[in-house]
């Protein structure tokens, strides 16, 4: 007996070409409960794939007659359904597409659960229990996504609108950082701070996390290095305007008043989650996001991961033969994939090499363990410290890679740093060193210009 929904689907495949083109890539013969409906579906699918059109009643009749190895009873059932299924049905295409999508999702989940039960009770000898999560994930991911790419000539209006769309960004709250990123970090991006040990990677991320919270953003800070309480202590120093060493001396009532005052200034939330070093990967972070959503109703606007090199890869297990280049690149790719999946920016950090630690002009080649990391990141910058900068209470920032803006503009700049309060701040323009800017590099030798900057091809002589 064919259900009403399955009847409507088969009729749509026979009579509605627009509907067929929308749904055929997603329907599977195994979704049909009725063997008769499944047989008609295969006939429609085969015909459409060969002739790029819906089958006529006559072509279906011929296909039925050519079926081999079929019982008389099944042939009779197919014949009894023929007149009903080949009779047109007055259904709106959009309604039928939506109904079919819902049906596909329900059937996919049902069949996945049946497979999981078979694996669990041992009936399925080919797959182990570790296959169950993947089976269920694939079933839950069933969706009618008909976008197959951007048609350059046909979709120009949508493209023009995109050019003028104001992209959602998370501002740094620091003047030059916002300048080099055109207002902050876009979603679906991976952003990396490169620095030596003790220079200020965690300080930078704690400061940025504090600024994002005060902007009303929901912030998730994942630490694989320090305890949750130590990260919270640094953010307390920043937001409560107290030296980090003095926090323990604040009376409870004063501390409570400061935190409550902060609560009244922001609608955002900040969660800090600790994982043991080298024990967590993007899969764990993805599970954490789902758990926070279910238990706390919390969805972050930005994620900080402290820091990338001491995470693990979900693709390369500990003790595998993969080298550090492959592993770190894999971690970066997985984190960037996580950012894309959840539509938010991820900020993390990495160490410099031993030579980079003593280098006053850090470059991409000073990235420790893997050059695959800068190849994957959307924004990468170095934090550079020296005795002279420390005395002035400053830290230098150098752009290494920038997909948001021209990295030649404001390639180097300084920001103020208050290590006691775990805080960065803007400094006066007079405190900035000579910025390495494309506009400033006009000649090879200032005293005797040999290679003048050209503004057009007409300026060149051949």
Residue 283 maps to which CATH number? 3.40.50.300
Residue 14 maps to which CATH number? 1.10.860
Domain boundary among 88, 122, 140: 140
Q: Please tell me whether residues 133 and 177 are part of one structural domain.
A: no
> Does residue 462 lie within any of the structural domains?
no
Q: Please tell me whether residues 125 and 177 are part of one structural domain.
A: no
> Does residue 253 lie within any of the structural domains?
yes
Q: Please tell me whether residues 133 and 249 are part of one structural domain.
A: no
Q: What is the pLDDT of residue 394?
A: 93
Q: What is the pLDDT of residue 146?
A: 64
* 356 vs 364: CA distance, rounded Å: 10
> Does residue 439 lie within any of the structural domains?
no
Domain containing residue 353: 169-431
Q: What is the pLDDT of residue 441?
A: 42
Number of structural domains in the chain: 2
Q: Please tell me whether residues 292 and 405 are part of one structural domain.
A: yes
Q: Please tell me whether residues 129 and 182 are part of one structural domain.
A: no
Q: What is the pLDDT of residue 255?
A: 94
Q: What is the pLDDT of residue 434?
A: 61
Q: Please tell me whether residues 26 and 76 are part of one structural domain.
A: yes
Q: Please tell me whether residues 184 and 125 are part of one structural domain.
A: no
Q: Please tell me whether residues 282 and 135 are part of one structural domain.
A: no
* pLDDT digits 0-9 by tens, 48-78: 999 999 999 999 999 998 888 888 888 888 8
Q: Please tell me whether residues 235 and 325 are part of one structural domain.
A: yes
Q: Please tell me whether residues 325 and 426 are part of one structural domain.
A: yes
> Does residue 87 lie within any of the structural domains?
yes
Q: Please tell me whether residues 195 and 113 are part of one structural domain.
A: no
> Does residue 39 lie within any of the structural domains?
yes
| Stretches in the chain below the pLDDT threshold 50 | 438-462
């Amino acid at each position: 007996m064919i259900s009403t929904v399955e009847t409507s689907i088969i009729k749509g495949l026979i009579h509605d070409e627009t509907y067929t083109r929308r749904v055929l890539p997603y329907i599977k013969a195994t979704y049909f409960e009725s063997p008769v409906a499944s047989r008609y579906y295969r006939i429609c699918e085969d015909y459409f794939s060969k002739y790029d059109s819906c089958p006529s009643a006559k072509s279906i009749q011929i296909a039925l007659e050519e079926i081999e190895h079929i019982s008389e009873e099944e042939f009779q059932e197919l014949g009894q359904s023929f007149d009903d299924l080949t009779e047109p049905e007055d259904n709106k295409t959009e309604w039928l597409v939506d109904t079919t999508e819902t049906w596909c999702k329900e059937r996919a989940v049902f069949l996945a659960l049946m497979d999981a039960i078979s694996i669990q009770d041992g009936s399925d000898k080919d797959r182990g229990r570790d296959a169950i999560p993947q089976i269920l994930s694939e079933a839950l991911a069933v969706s009618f996504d008909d976008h197959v790419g951007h048609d350059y000539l046909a979709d120009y209006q949508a493209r023009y609108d995109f050019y003028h769309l104001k992209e959602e960004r998370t501002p740094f709250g620091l003047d030059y950082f916002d300048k080099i990123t055109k207002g902050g970090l876009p979603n679906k991006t991976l952003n990396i701070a490169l620095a030596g040990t003790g220079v200020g990677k965690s300080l930078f991320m704690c400061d940025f996390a504090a600024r994002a919270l005060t902007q009303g953003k929901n912030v998730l800070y994942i630490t694989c290095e320090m305890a949750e309480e130590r990260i919270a202590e640094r953010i307390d120093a920043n937001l409560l305007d107290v030296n980090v060493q003095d926090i323990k001396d604040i009376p409870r009532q004063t501390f409570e008043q400061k935190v409550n005052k902060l609560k009244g200034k922001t609608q955002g939330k900040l969660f800090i989650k600790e994982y043991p070093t080298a024990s967590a990967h993007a899969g764990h972070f993805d599970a954490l996001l789902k758990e926070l959503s279910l238990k706390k109703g919390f969805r972050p606007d930005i994620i900080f991961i402290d820091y990338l090199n001491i995470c693990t890869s979900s693709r390369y297990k500990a003790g595998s033969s993969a080298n550090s280049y492959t592993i770190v690149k894999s971690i970066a790719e997985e984190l960037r994939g996580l950012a894309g999946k959840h539509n938010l920016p991820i900020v993390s950090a990495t160490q410099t090499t031993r030579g980079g630690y003593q280098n006053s002009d850090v470059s991409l080649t000073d990235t420790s363990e893997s050059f695959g990391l800068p190849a994957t990141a959307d924004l990468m910058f170095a934090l550079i410290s020296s005795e002279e900068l420390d005395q002035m209470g400053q830290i230098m920032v150098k752009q290494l890679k920038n997909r948001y803006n021209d990295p030649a503009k404001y390639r180097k700049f300084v920001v103020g740093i208050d290590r006691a309060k775990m805080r960065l701040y803007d400094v006066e323009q007079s405190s900035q060193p000579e910025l390495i800017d494309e506009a400033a590099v006009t000649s090879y030798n200032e005293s005797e210009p040999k290679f003048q900057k050209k503004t057009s091809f007409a300026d060149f002589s051949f």
